[in-house]
Amino acid sequence: MRNLRRFFGLGGNWLGAVLVLAFVVVAVLAPSLAVRPVPQSGPPERLPQPPSPEHPMGRVGNSDVWYVLVWGTRDALRLGLGVTLLTGLIGVTLGAVSGYAGGWLNAGVMRLADAFLAFPALASVWLISYILLGDYLYGADGLRQLLSALRLSPAMVALILFSWMPYARLINTNVIRLKGQAYVEAARAVGAGPGRILLRHLLPNALAPVIVLAARDVGGMVIWATGFAFVIGGSSSLWGSLLLDARDFVMGTGGNPLRYWWVYLPVTLALVLFGLAWNLLGDGLNQALNPRQRQ
């Protein structure tokens, strides 16, 4: 309760919590807020269509901007939370086990993390997409079917494979610092095994900064995925797909960026607010869980 009161003691934390709750409500109510539009007959319109009673935020090609904005919220939450959860699970597992074991295992995992950190994020998405979408990997068809069943796109796989390193390094440092504490030595003396010590004694005391990092990463993962769609094509999110379809009209005609404002402004604002919400939530959790912030 003390941490909860500390969290809601600052206005920024309230704003972050309210924004996150608003996105969750929109995602839950998406079927009521945006009914699937009637498919347009014939080829898509060459130019974006402005807002109208039938399409309150306009259209881009055959895409209704309001529909994409609302349903993209559900898609963004699934992408951000799913990728962050899997990324954190991989990073925490590798970092905790290697930190407790020490020696060559710890050195090897940390060097592996350094190698992955040195690989450019944009190149990683292109590489994973190239491998998974092509016929260059044995059993690629089965792998693509598995990823489709799990609703994982190549961009999401790339984000998971190349984002676990900060979690591993953070938890690794905390586990190494804590494993020499007296309560850990006492647990070891009474016969507790490594698994029990990690799960019952080390991880509960080492996870607070990881939770803060994960909260901030939820918004960051969605922004990364949308940015990848805009730069290299293909998308794992509805927001990214809309921006990809609209990128030829962002500058408008005659260099006027407001000529077709509806093709990018609503989605851009949604992305900004989504990232801001999770960053504010992460900052609030840091203030509530960080012992130095409590003094």
Q: Is 103:285 a contact under the CB 8 Å cutoff?
A: no
Question: How far is the C-alpha of 103 from the C-alpha of 285, rounded, in Å?
Answer: 33
Which residue, 171, 207, 202, 176, is CA-closest to 187?
A: 202
Q: How distant is the alpha carbon of residue 240 from its chain centre?
A: 14
Which residue, 5, 95, 44, is CA-closest to 248?
A: 44
pTM, two decimals, is 0.84
Q: Token digits for 95?
A: 């970092």
Kindly report the number of other CB atoms within 10 A of residue 37's CB atom. 15
Position of tokens 């094509």?
A: 233
Instruction: Please name the fold of domain 79-290.
Output: MetI-like fold (1.10.3720)
What per-residue confidence (pLDDT) applies to 295? 47
The tens digit of pLDDT for each residue in 160-202 reads 888 899 999 999 999 998 888 888 888 888 887 888 888 888 8
Give 97-133 as a DSSP string: HHHHH-HHHHHHHHHHHHHHHTS-HHHHHHHHHHHHH
Q: Which residues are bridge partners to 59 per DSSP? A: 49, 64
Average pLDDT, 10 consecutive residues per value, the chain (295 residues)? 61 82 93 73 68 82 86 90 92 92 90 86 72 58 67 79 90 89 84 84 86 90 80 69 79 68 88 91 77 51
Helix axes 165-178, 65-101, angle to 10 degrees: 40
